């Protein structure tokens, strides 16, 4: 299987012989090795719980390495490392929380225009249904587009009348199976697109992979 390695890709594997490379292992042949970053801010803990489920969904795709980082601990290097990013924020006055905006404003300016081609998506927790989570996801998309990320939504439904069109959006924390699956489906789709477009694994495309996309 041919592998596509865009110019921005960091090294994915090194020989284990000699020097500082002793902790690296050879890349498995035929297994995608995409890097997924789940970046979030959480005030009440609800968005953090969503982030953990998004990360679990990304790990469904074989070979993906997943980092889970809050904006308080994340660095610009985490963003440079990733091929795909899922960004999560609670709703703050109908928009993205200032802590998330601050991360991109203060930690990432030097990387503006240098992140083209990476893949991005969004998730958000709101205090009640209709509280602005989808608008917050679109705010996140706008930030990512300005940095050159290719953003996406999902046509998938994870349950009756429960979709993930603009990203995973919940009221509060993920409790019900459909809420958990919404988060995991977002992470899974991000990893699928990384596998397809970064690693050249066309068999991971959601239209041909055979994975369930609708509850009927």
The yes-or-no verdict on residue 131 having pLDDT over 80 is no
Return d(Cα 128, Cα 126) in angstroms, integer: 6
pLDDT at residue 32, rounded to an integer: 63
> Concatenated DSSP letters for 27-92?
PPTT----EEEEEE--SSSHHHHHHHHHHHHHTTSTT-EEEEEETTT--HHHHHH-SEEEEEEEEE
Q: What is the pLDDT of residue 128?
A: 80
* Helix or strand (DSSP H, E) at 96: strand 95-96
**Statement: residue 170 has pLDDT above 50:** yes
Of 23-37, 46-60, 131-145, 186-200, where does mean pLDDT reach its minimum? 23-37
Q: Give the pLDDT confidence score for residue 55 in this predicted structure.
A: 98
Task: Determine phi and psi for 119, rounding to 5 degrees.
Answer: -110, 135
CA distance 50 to 133: 13
Rounded CA gap, 138 and 85, in Å? 15
The length of the chain is 216
H-helix or E-strand spanning residue 25: none
Domain map (residue ranges) of the chain: 33-204
Query: Mean pLDDT, the chain, as a whole number?
Result: 87
pLDDT of residue 107: 96
Burial of 22 (0-12, 13-18, 19+ CB in 10 A): exposed
Confidence band, pLDDT 50/70/90 cuts, at residue 130 = confident
pLDDT at 8: 39
Chain segment 100-127, per-residue pLDDT in tens: 999 999 999 999 989 999 999 999 999 8
Distance (Å, whole) CA 212 – CA 12: 30
Residue 9 has pLDDT above 60, yes or no: no
Residue 3 CA to residue 29 CA, distance in Å, equals 10
**What does the pLDDT read at residue 127?**
84
How much of the chain, in percent, has pLDDT values that exceed 90? 77
What is the predicted pLDDT for the residue at 31?
63
- In this structure, whether the domain defined by 33-204 belongs to CATH 3.40.50.360 is answered with yes
Q: Which pLDDT value is given to residue 216?
A: 76
Two tokens at 132?
């602005």
d(CA 112, CA 200): 26
Beta bridge partners of 86: 38, 121
Instruction: Report how far residue 52's alpha carbon sits from residue 69's, in angstroms, rounded to the nearest whole number.
Output: 10
| Reported pTM | 0.84
Q: What is the pLDDT of residues 14-70, one digit of tens each?
A: 232 333 333 433 344 456 689 999 999 999 999 999 999 999 999 999 999 999 999
């Amino acid at each position: 299987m041919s592998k596509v390695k865009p110019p921005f890709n960091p090294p994915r594997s090194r020989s284990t012989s000699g020097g500082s490379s002793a902790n690296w292992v050879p890349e498995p042949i035929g297994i995608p090795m995409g890097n997924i970053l789940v970046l979030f801010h959480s005030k009440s803990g609800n968005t953090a719980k969503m982030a953990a489920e998004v990360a679990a969904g990304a790990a469904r795709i074989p070979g993906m390495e997943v980092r889970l980082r809050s904006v308080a601990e994340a660095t610009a290097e985490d963003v440079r490392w990733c091929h795909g990013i899922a960004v999560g924020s609670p709703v703050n006055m109908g928009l993205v929380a200032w802590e998330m905006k601050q991360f991109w404003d203060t930690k990432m300016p030097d990387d503006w225009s240098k992140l083209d081609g990476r893949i991005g998506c969004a998730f958000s927790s709101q205090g009640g249904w209709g509280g602005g989570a989808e608008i917050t996801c679109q705010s996140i998309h706008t930030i990512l587009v300005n940095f050159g990320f290719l953003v996406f939504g999902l046509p998938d439904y994870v349950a009756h009348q429960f979709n993930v069109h603009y990203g995973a959006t919940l009221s509060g924390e993920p409790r019900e199976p459909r809420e958990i699956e919404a988060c995991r489906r977002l992470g899974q789709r991000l990893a699928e697109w990384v596998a397809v477009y970064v690693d050249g694994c066309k068999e991971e495309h959601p239209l041909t992979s055979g994975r369930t996309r609708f509850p009927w």
